[in-house]
Amino acid sequence: MPAPKNSFKTALASKTPQIGLWVVTAEPSLAEMIGTAGFDWLVLDGEHAPNDIRSLKDALTALNGSKSHPVVRIPVGEAWMVKQVLDAGAQTVLVPMVDTADQAREMAAAMLYPPAGIRGMGASGARASHFGEIADYVATANDEVCLIVQAESRAALDNLDDILAVEGVQGVFIGPADLSADMGYPGNPGAPEVQDAIETAIRKIAASDKAAGILTSGTEPARKWLDAGATFVAVGIDMKLFSDSVRRLCAEGKALL
């Protein structure tokens, strides 16, 4: 039995648009519920959400059988973190703050078993191999893992051509918030200069063999980036959706008084 097919990786390779949602609530039952909504992909955030390897594993388990593909964002680009989330069952890993081609190559190596890479041989007792049930996991896993690197600084955009040339990177994700801060517009990713830089980057990524991705705050900006060539676009953040809904309902309820 080979490793499970990574439909999200296949979609990125064919530049088939994918609509997703950012999941920061760090609660497996909520991830399970969100997984019934029909999104193509979901980010399980280990950088800015209160997740650890156990809660990420629990969220991956909760999404087992969902049509929404889980993408795990690790806190920082460290090979041991890649190893842990892959063994926990992630197939697609999102790495923040990748500024250079050397960083991208290091992460690509961490995703793959030798001799192609440096991933440790520990999956036989891990969730990734169904605890040893997938006899051919090690022989086939390299084909089904997917690496997305985040370009979210001026340095990353300056080095974008070199990053796009790195074998083993399937997608480049633009981080508007951090990019806007690095460009001198903290909290204002809508600044024209930032928007121009994002559009230039997305069009460059789309013209390569990699897929472009971005997080937006709704369907209107998502349409803009899809038209610019983005393949995988997240249209919101779960906590923001919940908080907006709760506050709106509270206001409506108090208006009854």
Q: Tell me the catalytic residues.
A: 48
Whole-number Å distance between alpha carbons of 194 and 55: 34
The two structure tokens encoding residue 147: 């690496």
The alpha carbon of 34 is separated from its chain's Cα centroid by a whole number of angstroms, namely 16
Three-class secondary structure assignment of the chain: CCCCCCHHHHHHHCCCCEEEEEECCCCHHHHHHHCCCCCCEEEEECCCCCCCHHHHHHHHHHCCCCCCEEEEECCCCCHHHHHHHHHCCCCEEEECCCCCHHHHHHHHHHHCCCCCCCCCCCHHHCHHHCCCCCCCHHHHHHHHCEEEEEECCHHHHHCHHHHHCCCCCCEEEECHHHHHHHCCCCCCCCCHHHHHHHHHHHHHHHCCCCEEEEECCCHHHHHHHHHHCCCEEEEEEHHHHHHHHHHHHHHHHHCCC
Q: Please choose, from the candidates 167, 204, 196, the residue with its C-alpha nearest in 3D space to the C-alpha of residue 179.
A: 196
